[in-house]
Amino acid sequence: MRHFRSIGEAGPEAVRRLLDLADHMAEVNRRPNPKVPALRGRTVCNVFFEDSTRTRLSFETAAKRLSADTMNFAVSSSSVNKGESLRDTIETIAAMGVDAFVIRHKSSGAPWQIGQWTNAAVVNAGDGWHAHPTQALLDCFTIRNAFGRPDGFDGLKIAIIGDIKHSRVARSDIEAFAMLGADVTLVAPKTLLPPVTDGMPVTITTDLDAVIGEVDVVYLLRMQMERMTEALVPNLYEYTTRFGLTPERVTKLAEHTLIMHPGPMNRGVEVAVDPSELPGSVITQQVTNGIAVRMAVLFDLLGSGANLEDES
Amino acid sequence: MSELLITGGTVIDPAGERRADVRVVDGAIAEVGTDLEAGDGMQVLDATGCVVSPGFVDLHTHLREPGREEAETIETGSRAAAKGGFTCVVAMPNTDPTQDCVSVVEFVRRQGVAAGLCDVRPSGSITVGREGARLTPFAELAAAGVRIFTDDGSGVQDPLLMRRAFEYAVDLDIVLAQHCEVARLTEGAVMHEGRCCSSFGLPGWPSIAEELMVHRDIELARLTGGRVHLLHLSTAGSVELVRRAKADGLSVTAEATPHHISLTDELLAGYSTLYKVNPPLRTMADVEAVRAGLADGTIDAIATDHAPHAAETKEQPLDQAPPGMLGLETALGVSLASLEGAGMTVVDVVAALSWKPAAIAGVDDRHGRPIAPGEPANLTIFDPTEAWEVVPATLASKSKNTPYVGIPLTGKVKHTVLDGTPTVIDETPTA
Amino acid sequence: MNDSKQVLGPDDVRRAVTRMAHEIIERNQGSTGVALIGLQRGGVWLAEALGAAIRRIGHDVPVGSIDCSLYRDDIGLRPVSPGSVSDISFEIDGATIVLVDDVLYTGRTVKAALDAVTDYGRPRAVQLAVLVDRGHRELPIRPDFVGKNLPTSSGEQVAATAEGVSIS
């Protein structure tokens, strides 16, 4: 695997391999000294054109636990604001000797454009509306562990609720969940869905109450306040009434159903109860698993991957 | 006296197709016949295996000067036009400053004359500064030689303003041309709205944003008795609207670009900015509808919408990169390759590249003429079957943003003659 | 495998395992504080076999396994894939750890295992038990308990399981 930019590009074999690798990394993280020398001497550069402290810290921690050196490039303090083109920025950093770029950018497709200008591995930490593959991996890892399903998600029912249209998390999750065999249902009004949805491996509904008792996983997406100006929903109150996790809906959940959210949460909007009071919530596990999964990705890209008998 | 002999070619013009040599004397065609002899001092252009046609006329070229000379100048754009077989181009007005007053229009015209490689006819904008608020002085600009008026780059959003433009223009011999795009429906859009943009996670430009304005301007033309030319049609719906307008006898003409008859939105899978253009590349169904529109005459002309952009502006993320691709030097090659299957002959394609746009641009006194004694010698000589591929380094354009690298093209311009003087000989510009 | 030659049969292997079990107990004067850790993947069956043999002679030691692929010194030079997740459910601090592997060759895997084990804690001592020592050491690593010394050439492959040891 040369890059990790989207679930579709990685493919089912790589996804399974990364989830298995994440088991090893999770074990490393449980030790008193959670560090291995695997990527010693390698340099990982975080290039975040869009602010995200939590994702950046997660990647940085992952790199450091593998003993890699890290560099951070945050756009507000950079020359991009002075008109340096994206290409110049990447080539300048690459010239300093970087083995992997971790990129977050507000423009869909930036990791592919960047791939033309460097030989380093490119990890997509989120591009525009398009993809957030490490989020999808950690979501799959969380579900896999919660239900004890290392073989795949056949028969699992997952509902993704909210602003699918603008969500790179949703797009990557849909790809990954479907790849592993789950039945995915999207719950959203038409204004919050991509313009064309036929061909997507999903069922679509606007009736959250009809599905909420039937699913194994409820995945809540963030409803962004900024969307109000675009006439996508009349107001947030109506959004919460139709699509939010309200106290009434909580009572309808099956006992084993997981509650998931990519964070940060808009309390009172997509989730109208205190999530820490939901027994099915695995939101904190998602964050913990993020490090293990990102360690797996970095190790697979910069360490190795294929099967071979080793000799002592 | 300067003499030029074009030998061994097949002449194609509005009268038809015939094997003939052409002799040009002092800028005009002197003789058309077989086995003409070359005299002393006569320059000879070998047209064996080639078509000799009236020079191509591009209704839609962005020469970037004044204001964006790093992307192209009138000189480099004229050279690119000549290499593409064009003897006349209509220069779009979205320059800086805008072509909305006589001084800028005159500047562009003079620069074209100074370059001497192509007949550059500046267009004027419909509104001052292309801001969509006040009309430019149509009559004053028409007196300075402007025939086509457009806010191209964007469409005129205000329906009342557009109605007034049509009404005011009715007794002036000008053409209002529209870039049909309802801006409110395309905010932030980067590619066609459809299945591809949904999976690529990119904001989309719905077909209806074009069709609503096509419909509006057709109806305004109907209401006011005015004449409208629709730029770069890209959707099946737009083609159908124009077909019905023509059936109703309205004064509506239309053009389509070579990229809208050859490329689709799937190409944006790699997020390459080379494929970002306004209006965007659409689906195969739209491509086929546009081809069919050209074949049945609903769409009158092929116009390149040549839009050069400096490399560093295109090396930005997709949503920040400017839209547009080169077109002058690949127009013939793309058109012949794409339209053969749509039932168009070489004559049909030449018509769409030369005499039909010449009529719309009002330059048909000098371009798109029959190839007959007494006519101005604005000619293109091209090999209609030669297969070739674009090599960016050999393009005459100052910019290199062409999407056709690696795509096989059919048909290559060998020589171009402007007012009796060759501007391109053996694929090489003379200046 | 072409021309595979069996040099130890299943009975030979069983006898070697029993002998090594006795040696481990004798060398450590009992089994107090002793734990076996099999190196993945080849050493895991042997660690379990040794654990069973030790139980048969009246002692009991914990048996774990360690995956050292994250500690190899040739990461990025050749493909490597982790085996199962490391399983060490006992205290490493102060323990006498016996690393167990099927074949000892260059010594690099054992070095990686040493690095890995010391990341879990500080053992009192680390010893090495291997079924086969085939020579060609590249690091100063020596086994404490050996089933059989088997000189080989570097072009040959050695396979060691409970069913026997063969060279090809």
Asked if residue B28 belongs to a domain, the reply is: yes
| Co-location of A35 and A81 in the same domain | yes
Sheet-wide strand order for C158-161: C5-8, C164-167, C158-161
Flag if A112 and B271 touch (Cβ within 8 Å).
Answer: yes
Q: Domain check: are B273 and B252 in the same one?
A: yes
How crowded is residue C78: how many other Cβ atoms within 10 Å of its Cβ?
A: 11
* pLDDT per residue as tens digits for the range B101-121: 999 999 999 999 999 999 999
Domain range for A62: 7-132+288-302
* B369 found inside a domain: no
A155 three-state secondary structure: coil
CB of B200 within 8 Å of a chain A CB? The answer is yes
Instruction: Give the integer Cα–Cα distance in Å for B285 and B192.
Output: 13
Pairing of strands B175-178, B148-149: parallel
Residue C138: its H or E element: none
Q: Can you tell me which residue has the tokens 């004067």?
A: C29
CATH number (domain holding residue B71): 3.20.20.140
B176 and B150 belong to one structural domain = yes
Domain harbouring B382, CATH code:
2.30.40.10
A230 three-state secondary structure: helix
**Do B99 and B187 reside in the same domain of the chain?**
yes
Total number of domains in chain C: 1
**Quick one: how far is CA B258 from the chain centroid?**
9
Whole-angstrom distance, CA of residue A115 vs CA of residue A127: 13
Q: Does A167 lie in the same domain as A236? A: yes
Same domain, A221 and A298: no
Would the CB atoms of C115 and A37 count as touching at under 8 Å? yes
- Based on the fold, state whether residues B94 and B222 are members of the same structural domain: yes
- Report residue A172: phi and psi, to 5°: -70, -40
Point out which residues pair with B277 in neighbouring strands: none
Kindly state whether residues B7 and B60 are assigned to the same domain.
no
Residues A152 and A120 in one domain: no
Task: Examine the domain organization and report whether A150 and A237 are in the same domain.
Answer: yes
Round the average pLDDT of chain C to a whole number and report it. 91
B233 with B270, same domain? yes
Output the domain CATH number for residue C140: 3.40.50.2020
Extract the residue ranges of chain B whose pLDDT is less than 70: none
Residue A201 domain flag = yes
A198 lies in the same domain as A121:
no
Neighboring chain B residues of A109 at a CB cutoff of 8 Å = 200, 202, 270-271, 317-318
Find the helix packing angle between A12-30 and A133-147, rounded to 10°. 70
**B59 shares a domain with B47:** no
| In-domain check, residue A40 | yes
Domain total of chain A: 2
Residue C110, chain A, CB below 8 Å: the answer is yes
Query: What are chain B's partners, defined as 3 or more CB pairs within 8 angstroms?
Result: A
* CATH number of the domain where residue A212 is located: 3.40.50.1370
* Same-domain pairing of A127 and A16: yes
Select the residue from A75, A113, A175 to test the B interface by mutation, using most B Cβ atoms within 10 A. A113
A183 domain residue, yes or no: yes
- Cβ-defined contact of A108 to B202 (cutoff 8 Å): yes
Same domain flag for A128 and A232: no
Please judge whether B317 and A197 are an interchain contact, meaning their C-beta atoms are less than 8 angstroms apart. Answer: no
- Shared-domain flag, residues A150 and A278: yes
- Judge if B46 and B172 occupy the same domain: no
Residues A121 and A199 in one domain: no
Do B78 and B187 share a domain, yes or no? yes
Enter the tokens of residue A209. Answer: 């109450």
Q: Are B88 and B367 in contact (CB under 8 A)?
A: yes
Specify the pLDDT at position A310: 37
ipTM: 0.85
Whether residues B8 and B83 fall in one domain: no
Which of A90, A103, A196 has the highest number of chain B CBs within 10 A, making it the mutation to test binding with B? A196
Domain count, chain B: 2
Q: Is residue A42 part of a domain?
A: yes
Whether residue A78 lies inside any domain: the answer is: yes
Question: Looking at the DSSP assignment, which residues form a beta bridge with residue C78?
Answer: C75
Is B305 part of a structural domain of the chain? yes
* Integer Rg of chain B from CA: 21
Question: Domain range spanning residue C89?
Answer: 5-167
pLDDT at residue A225, rounded to an integer: 72
Q: In which residue ranges of chain A is pLDDT below 70?
A: 76-84, 226-229, 304-312
d(CA A7, CA A137): 8
B197 interfacial to chain A (CB closer than 8 Å) = yes
- Which chain C residues contact residue A299 at CB under 8 A? 70
Residue A226: predicted pLDDT: 67
* Three-state SS letters, chain B: CCEEEEECCEEEECCEEEECEEEEECCEEEEEECCCCCCCCCEEEECCCCEEEECEEEEEECCCCCCCCCCCCHHHHHHHHHHCCEEEEEECCCCCCCCCCHHHHHHHHHHHHHHCCCEEEECECCEHHHCCCCECCHHHHHHCCCCEECCCCCCCCCHHHHHHHHHHHCCCCCEEEECCCCHHHCCCCCEECCHHHHHHCCCEECHHHHHHHHHHHHHHHHHHCCCEEECCCCCHHHHHHHHHHHHCCCCEEEEECCHHHCCEHHHHHHCCHHHCCCCCCECHHHHHHHHHHHHCCCCCEECCCECCCCHHHHCCCCCCCCCCCCCCCCHHHHHHHHHHHHCCCHHHHHHHHCHHHHHHHCCCCCCCCCCCCCCECCEEEEEEEEEECCCHHHCCCCCCCCCCCCCCEEEEEEEEEECCEEEEECCEECC
Q: What confidence tens digit (pLDDT) does each residue in C104-151 have?
A: 999 999 999 999 999 899 999 999 999 999 999 999 999 999 999 998
Same domain, A66 and A22: yes
Total residues belonging to chain C: 168
Which pLDDT value is given to residue C2? 59
Q: Indicate whether A218 and A251 sit together in one domain.
A: yes
- Which of A169, A167, A161 lies closest to A140, judged by CA? A169
Min distance A10 CA to chain C CA atoms (Å): 18
Q: How many CB pairs under 8 A join A and C?
A: 74
Domain that holds residue B101: 55-361
pLDDT digits (tens, 9 = 90+) for A212-253: 999 999 999 998 776 666 778 888 888 999 999 999 999 999
